[in-house]
């Protein structure tokens, strides 16, 4: 046991977060995301019993967002014509506001297939059991000051 480490963060995930350097990206993927195929060249950490919000909140206690880019947080854009609500994005925004002075302006949306392409270049993908649709979120690591 360690003090000050959120209990939800497994030793494997802590190791991945520690290994990552400035500019590296990590995806917190929902339960529908093709984590294993998209992440075949990345580290895939299974966290199936957990949701994206609880992981995002825990990760951001340890993980600085990149201040050298405008949008260190990226969400998968809803496909045009898809009639899906994304209330989880509001939860993400509230979590981001607590750790980054840029608040919602640190967040951008990227087209679904571009998100997959970007995710293929990520250092790691966390496969969660999140049931919300379009709940995939990519974080770019900054520096610890």
Domain ranges of the chain: 23-140
Indicate the fold that domain 23-140 takes in CATH.
Answer: RbsD-like fold (3.40.1650)
Q: Which of 22, 48, 90, 117 is catalytic?
A: 22
Q: Tokens in use for 42?
A: 């990345």
Residues 90-106 have pLDDT tens digits of: 999 999 999 999 999 99
**Distance set, CA 68 to CA 1, 81, 139 (Å):** 34, 34, 13
24 is catalytic: no
According to DSSP, the residues that pair with 117 across neighbouring strands are none
pLDDT > 90: percent of the chain: 97
Residues 72-81 have pLDDT tens digits of: 999 999 999 9
50 is catalytic: no
Total-model pTM? 0.96
123 is catalytic: no
**Bridge pairing between strands 137-140 and 73-76:** antiparallel
Range 6-36 burial, b when 16+ CB lie within 10 A, else e: eeebeeebbebbeebeeebbbbbbbbebebe
């Amino acid at each position: 046991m360690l003090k000050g480490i959120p209990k939800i963060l497994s030793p494997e995930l802590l190791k991945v977060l520690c290994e990552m350097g400035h500019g590296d990206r990590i995806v917190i993927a929902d339960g529908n995301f093709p984590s294993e195929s998209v992440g075949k060249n990345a580290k895939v950490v299974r966290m199936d019993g957990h949701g994206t919000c609880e992981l995002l909140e825990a990760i951001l206690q340890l993980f600085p967002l990149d201040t050298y880019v405008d949008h260190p947080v990226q969400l998968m854009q809803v496909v045009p014509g898809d009639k899906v609500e994304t209330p989880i994005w509001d939860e993400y925004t509230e979590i981001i506001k607590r750790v980054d002075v840029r608040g919602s302006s640190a967040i951008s949306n990227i087209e679904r297939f571009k998100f997959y392409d970007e995710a293929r270049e990520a250092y790691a993908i966390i496969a969660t059991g999140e049931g919300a649709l379009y709940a995939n979120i990519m974080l770019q690591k900054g520096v610890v000051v």
